[in-house]
Amino acid sequence: MTPGVGGPTSNEGPASLGPAFATDPTWFRHGEPSMPAAVRRAAVALALRVGFGAVRAEEIGIATQETATNLHRHADDGALLLRSISVGESVAVELVAADSGPGISDVAWASMDGNSSGGTLGIGLGGILRLADDADLYSVPGRGVTLALRFRAEGARGVPLDEVGGLKRAIAGETVCGDAYAVRVDDDVTTVMLCDGLGHGPLAARASEVAVNAFVAAPAGRPDAHADRLHRAMAGTRGGAVSIAQLAPGVVRFCGIGNVSGTILGDFGRRGMTPLPGIAGQHARTRRVFEYDLPDGAMVVLHSDGLTDRGRVPDAPGLTSHTPLVVAATLLRDAGTRSDDACVVVARAPRRSG
């Protein structure tokens, strides 16, 4: 299948399999000449470790090295994330690249075989997109490129890009991130949680891990019921800020403790959602659910204070027509800070029937 231009593509129809869980995350920064080769080695090793055959693992290595080479050669700054994604018994290798370079002025032209702005793109953008099972590319000239690729293991059902996507990145100098997110689906209602563990490092990461485990293990319930459970579970940890958003057709219900921001993005711009003061696990006297209209096509974003409010939809035309993962990566690129842990998760509004 020939990928569509500038938007999400899939070499098979997407399947609804519930939330995806990310493991083995490795970030690579722009700037080192050896970075593309390092990315290729890591991608091949990861693919083999999670069950890909040798031939497919080498194809993944080629696509990831080409993506990293393009970022190194053409971008002013940027980063690349390599990780595995699992949904039930299905597994995939995922690559996310975001740069602040000159961008691609004509994605359709750049996606055609043999076309290159620099003349040395190897297999080219079109080849990269064809090697991936699922792909989405977003570019604004002068702002940069965001690219998300998924490679699915043989026999695995679809691991779609188009429902929920999230990323986290540790503060500079730390090996673990104190922020975390989780997603659950109960009777077609999607609930998203993000925890910003207090401070940084292993103790903050432990607080977020407790929050994730409690959230995933909890029975179905309203956001305030989840917040109560997380508050109790996190007692004895460092604690943290927690926000929970529950998406249903036409409405999002939001409950927040502390400074994890919630936003609704769409063609209309952005609308904020209101968390209440407190620290989950320590003191959180009031928990309240706020309801907001959720138009078809809108996206709900939760992010820690490792992202500022610089990433605005009017500055990124057409962004919300892309997959949540590309939206999350673009927001992290534009609004993330290296002086704090950063985490962002994006969920697409379910469509109303009829």
Give counts: helices (H), strands (E), the chain. Answer: 7, 16
Q: Where in the chain is the domain with CATH 3.30.565.10?
A: 9-152
Higher pLDDT, 349 or 161: 349
Instruction: Output the pLDDT for position 123.
Output: 66
Residues of the chain with CATH 3.60.40.10: 164-348
Mean pLDDT of the chain: 85
**Locus of tokens 């043989």:** 154
| Mean local confidence (pLDDT), 273-285 | 92
To 5 degrees, how large is the angle CA 105–CA 349–CA 256? 110
Q: What are phi and psi of 72, to 5 degrees?
A: -65, -40
Topology (CATH level 3) of domain 164-348: Phosphatase 2c; domain 1 (3.60.40)
Distances (CA, A) of 234 to 201, 216, 243, 246: 16, 14, 14, 21
CA distance 192 to 243: 8
**Residue 284 vs residue 82, higher pLDDT:** 82
Q: Which CATH class is domain 9-152?
A: alpha beta
**pLDDT score of 7 more than 70:** no
- pLDDT, tens digit, 9 for 90 and up, residues 104-122: 755 554 555 554 444 344 5
Answer whether 251's CB lies under 8 Å from 293's CB: yes
